[in-house]
Amino acid sequence: MKKRILGVSVFISLLAASAYATDLANSSFYITGYPIVDTGQRISYSNNAAMPLPDKANSFYGQDANYRSNPPSYTDNNNGTITDNVTGLMWQQQMGEKLTYDQALQKISSLKLAGYGDWRVPTIKELYSLIQFSGSVKGQKALTPFIDTHFFSQPIGNTQAGEREIDAQTWSSTEYVGKTMKNDQTIFGVNFVDGRIKGYPKYNPRTKSANKMYFRFVRGNEAYGKNNFVDNNDGTITDLATGLIWQQDDSKQGLNWQEALQYSENLTLAGHSDWRLPNAKELQSILDYSRSPETSHSAAIAPIFSTTAITNEAGDKDYPYYWSSTTHLDGPVPASGAVYVAFGKALGVMRGNTMDVHGAGSQRSDPKTGKPMSRGPQGDYIRVDNYVRSVRAGNIELATEASHQYQAEQVYQYSNSSSAIVDTTNTSMSTSSDIKTHKMTHNKNSSPHNKFIKRFDKNGDGKVSASEFQASTKRFNHFDKNKDGYITANEAPTGPPKNTK
């Protein structure tokens, strides 16, 4: 049994976010409003490893895997487009070559994909709706993409041309209102290879030539990403667009990830005790990309919220990073980091200078515990103790059955995490022939093969892809006998594989 948490605000949000209308011309439906698609994170984690689904007595309770809402759902329209059945947005399936921003605008002006002429470059909130935190990365090495590659083609960086595997960022239409790297005009993008939002320079600072990124065009639901905040005059803010109710204030101090989970779970505010730490996509939904410390002298959030001011590593007035409940799988100990969103400057140190390297509104990750430091090519500042803004309500279900995912994780996950699950000699993680409409196959046979499929098959298509398997290429290829990119029932093992060295 799953417990559904619903209230009056949720009913209002469902009316706003799930207004269906039949279009008889093309037999499709449309959704308006701002429904937030679930992150897809089904495995629970401690500070450094997968763990059984925690209960309320466990100090790791309240993380992303404990709560579920609006599961991802897509339809392949078989015409080069994919419809998101949760958001109502229709997406370009393939992205083609990298383009400058001006080239993308020129291309879109004449694009008639699938007979539609109203394509646009997505906002950062529209683009982020596609991210899935079932993905993983290891530094600059691509592992499992942070997007559903059953439906969407996702390139990786061309290492033969000197790029890193993670150099496959997708630009949005959202330009940073401030400047990064002291004086760079910057555009926000999502990296679906490493699972982050960052601001990327529009022009090469040395050559002054226009930089190129990937673009995935979108159409439909122009209300998506537009908040509708209401002050409840009780220390809470309701977003009528998403149905979420937010803590108006914040934690007033930095906490590590485990402490952040407990802060929200133990919070009683406005007569409610069902507060939780927001997942990555919920937290990103309240960013206001028209604001920044540099331009509005505020955090990147609507002034209806209260935000604690801090003194940053450069000694300047700034605003905090905020924890999400979502683990970000990266590095030699993949489960050791969690997603945060920068509501102030996304700071780094380069050539001895501390500066805003990615922009207020970025989404990065910090170690769940440890000591502050800086690391990475932009010298990202690692704070560890980040702030909290709790959330409640929404179309939420409590997860009660995740043990099958955890048990599979114990056997397979990171058995050889140095191996990527993509062919890095190519520039795409999937091709058009790999992208198919999901069809659920029902088989009453309860053989061990089918138990394996049920354990890993997240999208219900009756087979297991590399991204669902979440282990090494070597292990996946061992089972994928016909090398079609899937483990089917007749290829699945009859029991847990033996660990090999």
- Total count of domains within the chain: 3
When pLDDT is averaged across residues 216-225 and rounded to a whole number, the result is: 97
Reported confidence tier of residue 458, pLDDT bands at 50, 70, 90 = low
When pLDDT is averaged across residues 398-419 and rounded to a whole number, the result is: 48
Please check whether residue 119 lies inside any domain of the structure: yes
Instruction: Specify whether 184 is located in the same domain as 332.
Output: no
Provide the pLDDT for residue 235.
Answer: 98
Instruction: Specify whether 77 is located in the same domain as 185.
Output: yes
**CA 170, CA 190: separation in Å to the nearest integer?**
5
Look at residue 48 and tell me whether its pLDDT is greater than 90.
Answer: yes
Instruction: Specify whether 378 is located in the same domain as 313.
Output: yes
Look at residue 241 and tell me whether its pLDDT is greater than 50.
Answer: yes
When pLDDT is averaged across residues 247-261 and rounded to a whole number, the result is: 98
Residues with Cβ within 8 Å of 206's Cβ and at least 6 positions away in sequence, in order, are none
Strands (E), 210-336: 218-219, 229-231, 236-239, 244-247, 310-311, 317-318, 321-327, 329-330
Instruction: Please give the residue that has the higher pLDDT: either 233 or 454.
Output: 233
Q: Residue 474: left (phi > 0), alpha (psi -120 to 50), or beta?
A: alpha
When pLDDT is averaged across residues 443-448 and rounded to a whole number, the result is: 37
Instruction: Specify whether 109 is located in the same domain as 238.
Output: no
Of 218, 35, 197, the closest CA to residue 122 belongs to: 218
Please check whether residue 229 lies inside any domain of the structure: no
When pLDDT is averaged across residues 288-305 and rounded to a whole number, the result is: 98
Instruction: Specify whether 184 is located in the same domain as 249.
Output: no
Reported confidence tier of residue 471, pLDDT bands at 50, 70, 90 = low
When pLDDT is averaged across residues 369-374 and rounded to a whole number, the result is: 84
Look at residue 200 and tell me whether its pLDDT is greater than 90.
Answer: yes
Look at residue 414 and tell me whether its pLDDT is greater than 60.
Answer: no
Instruction: Specify whether 314 is located in the same domain as 167.
Output: no
Structure tokens at 14: 């469902």
Provide the pLDDT for residue 433.
Answer: 31
Strands (E), 344-390: 347-350, 353-356, 363-367, 373-375, 380-382
Please check whether residue 492 lies inside any domain of the structure: no
Please check whether residue 225 lies inside any domain of the structure: no
Q: Could you tell me the end-to-end alpha-carbon distance of the chain, in angstroms, rounded to an integer?
A: 41
For the chain, give the percent of residues with pLDDT over 70.
Answer: 79
With beta carbons less than 8 A apart as the criterion, state whether 443 and 457 touch: no
Residue after which a domain boundary falls, among 366, 397, 428: 397
Reported confidence tier of residue 49, pLDDT bands at 50, 70, 90 = very high
Residue 355 β-bridge partners = 348
When pLDDT is averaged across residues 253-281 and rounded to a whole number, the result is: 98
For the chain, give the percent of residues with pLDDT over 90.
Answer: 68
Please check whether residue 493 lies inside any domain of the structure: no
Please check whether residue 224 lies inside any domain of the structure: no
What is the domain range of residue 288?
A: 234-397
Write out the H or E segment, with its range, that includes residue 107. Answer: helix 101-109
Among 200-214, 351-365, 428-442, the range scoring the smallest mean pLDDT is 428-442
Phi, psi of 374, rounded to the nearest 5 degrees: -130, 150
Q: What angle do CA 132, 133, 135 make, to 5 degrees?
A: 90
Instruction: Specify whether 99 is located in the same domain as 206.
Output: yes
Provide the pLDDT for residue 205.
Answer: 87
Report the DSSP pairing between strands 329-330 and 136-138: parallel
What is the Rg, in whole angstroms, of the alpha carbon atoms belonging to the chain?
A: 22
Q: In this structure, which amino acid lies at residue 428?
A: S
When pLDDT is averaged across residues 423-451 and rounded to a whole number, the result is: 36
Structure tokens at 435: 């992208």
Residues with Cβ within 8 Å of 112's Cβ and at least 6 positions away in sequence, in order, are none
Provide the pLDDT for residue 443.
Answer: 34
Please check whether residue 454 lies inside any domain of the structure: yes
Instruction: Specify whether 206 is located in the same domain as 335.
Output: no
Structure tokens at 366: 């910090």
Interval 50-98: pLDDT, tens: 999 999 999 999 999 999 999 999 999 999 999 999 999 999 999 999 9
Residue after which a domain boundary falls, among 194, 219, 244: 219
Cβ neighbours around 17 below 10 Å, total: 26
Among 174-188, 215-229, 384-398, 480-494, the range scoring the smallest mean pLDDT is 480-494
Look at residue 473 and tell me whether its pLDDT is greater than 50.
Answer: yes
Instruction: Specify whether 53 is located in the same domain as 193.
Output: yes
Sign of the torsion formed by the C-alpha atoms of 171, 238, 278 and 365: positive
Please check whether residue 390 lies inside any domain of the structure: yes
What does the mean pLDDT of the chain come to? Answer: 83
Provide the pLDDT for residue 5.
Answer: 37
Q: Tokens 């895997």 correspond to what residue?
A: 65
Instruction: Specify whether 418 is located in the same domain as 381.
Output: no
**CA 215, CA 84: separation in Å to the nearest integer?**
17
Provide the pLDDT for residue 19.
Answer: 38
Instruction: Specify whether 207 is located in the same domain as 120.
Output: yes
Instruction: Specify whether 459 is located in the same domain as 353.
Output: no
Residue after which a domain boundary falls, among 167, 196, 219: 219
